[in-house]
Amino acid sequence: MIFENIYEIIAFILNSAGILQYMQSYSDALGISIAPKLIIILIETALLLVGVALMVMALTWMERKVLAHAQARLGPMITWYHGLLQPVIDGVKLLSKEDLMPKRADRWIYFIAPMIAFVPALLVFIPIPFGRDGAIISDLPMGILYVMAVSAISPIGILIGGWASDNKYSLLGALRAVAQDISYEIPMVLTVIGIVLITGSLSLQDIVLFQDKIWFVFLQPLGFIIFLVAAVAEMARIPFDLHESESEFVAGFFTEYSGMKFAFFFLAEYAHLFSIAAIMTTLYFGGWHGPMIPMIPPIITSIGWFTLKVLVIIFFTMWLRATVPRVRVDQILDIGWKVMIPLALFNVFITGLLVAGGVL
């Protein structure tokens, strides 16, 4: 069986279990024949949410462990095996913390900002192919454009969160974060143009399929380096972590947030990390391509390869965090506008020439 996306997979499973027909007839009788589709979509959403949440938890655990071991420490140890349950525990604790709101905060905006920051980080995953044979939520024909557009929404959440907190630290932190996000979005999109020129398609699935023989890292080395730097900046990791910049602005834009709202910002940060690493894997490291292991269904192996590549990239950023200091705000913007953008344009130019010349 060849599936197009996860929707069809779920439908197939339900169908072969005989549930779908039952649901169909029941809802037909009630006159709401769209209900089964909605239910499948709900299941899909739940899968995505659970998957991302699990991944984010794993990432927070991994971050603490990697940092600790880089620093000759042990990291969380007492909560189960090497502190594996630590993220759950943090979640439980944050859930039960008091939810403070500053007296002069802009109530609704303050309330809604964490969601605006968190939801786009989830939406990004829709057109990303996790594995072959339809492990994709929806293969949008404009996939890469959609991804870039959606991930540009989170800075709005950050900005209004910093604004609504009525705190100078928050406001300054938010302004810095947004300035950084915007100025690195541009080189990121420009490097993607190089890839799109070569593949001739905006769909992420096509881009992955194109990398059957050779990954884009080797075809677009300059583009990859620019994308990597921009990605680290977008992920807000040290050396480009203006979002938090702890020794300057206490905790950046979420200085005033506590409890679950803070947890949402925290989750958004890691979901963002995951999503950008996933995009990078898709664009430059051949997505789910990798040697298939016999006996195991290819869909599972390919998802495994994808996850592995993502984790390697994320490990790299954590390693970076343990090693290098932060770049100052004016220097970050300098690098973004004066180095990255011209280089990215140059990359587009070279790629265009090569494609027009028929080399690529």
Stretch that binds another protein, among 141-149, 164-172, 218-226, 305-313 (CB under 8 A): 164-172
Residue 34 CB neighbour total at 10 angstroms:
8
Provide the CA 316 distance to its chain's centre, in angstroms. Answer: 15
Distance CA(143)–CA(271), nearest Å, equals: 19
Rule CB under 8 A: say whether 181 interacts with another protein: no
Q: In the bound complex, what is the minimum distance in angstroms from residue 106's beta carbon to another protein?
A: 17
Contact residue for another protein among 44, 181, 234, 241 (CB under 8 A):
241
Sign for the pseudo-dihedral over CA of 243, 249, 251, 255: negative
Nearer to another protein, 88 or 356 (CB): 88
Question: CA–CA distance from 204 to each of 124, 126, 201, 344 (Å)?
Answer: 12, 10, 8, 20
Contact residue for another protein among 258, 298, 299, 355 (CB under 8 A):
258
DSSP 229-267: HHHHHHHT-TTS-TTT-HHHHTTGGGTT--HHHHHHHHH
Q: In the bound complex, what is the minimum distance in angstroms from residue 181's beta carbon to another protein?
A: 16
Rule CB under 8 A: say whether 89 interacts with another protein: yes
Residues between 21 and 80 that touch another protein (CB under 8 A): 64, 67-68, 70-80
Element (H, E) at 204: helix 204-210
Rule CB under 8 A: say whether 338 interacts with another protein: no
Contact residue for another protein among 16, 30, 31, 98 (CB under 8 A):
98
What token pair was written down for 302?
A: 């390919």
Helix axes 107-123, 35-70, angle to 10 degrees: 90
Rule CB under 8 A: say whether 243 interacts with another protein: no
Contact residue for another protein among 83, 157, 187, 223 (CB under 8 A):
83
Q: In the bound complex, what is the minimum distance in angstroms from residue 284's beta carbon to another protein?
A: 23
Distance CA(339)–CA(70), nearest Å, equals: 31
Contact residue for another protein among 308, 324, 353, 356 (CB under 8 A):
324
Q: Which residue bears the tokens 């973004």?
A: 336
Rule CB under 8 A: say whether 103 interacts with another protein: no
Nearer to another protein, 224 or 266 (CB): 266
Contact residue for another protein among 330, 357, 358, 359 (CB under 8 A):
330
Distance CA(78)–CA(175), nearest Å, equals: 39
| Number of residues binding to another protein, judged by CB under 8 A | 60
Rule CB under 8 A: say whether 115 interacts with another protein: no
DSSP 8-57: HHHHHHHHHHTHHHHHHHHHHHHT-TTHHHHHHHHHHHHHHHHHHHHHHH
Residues between 261 and 320 that touch another protein (CB under 8 A): 262
Q: Which residues bind another protein (CB under 8 A)?
A: 64, 67-68, 70-81, 83, 85-86, 88-93, 95-100, 168-169, 172, 176, 238-239, 241, 245-248, 250-251, 254-259, 262, 322-331
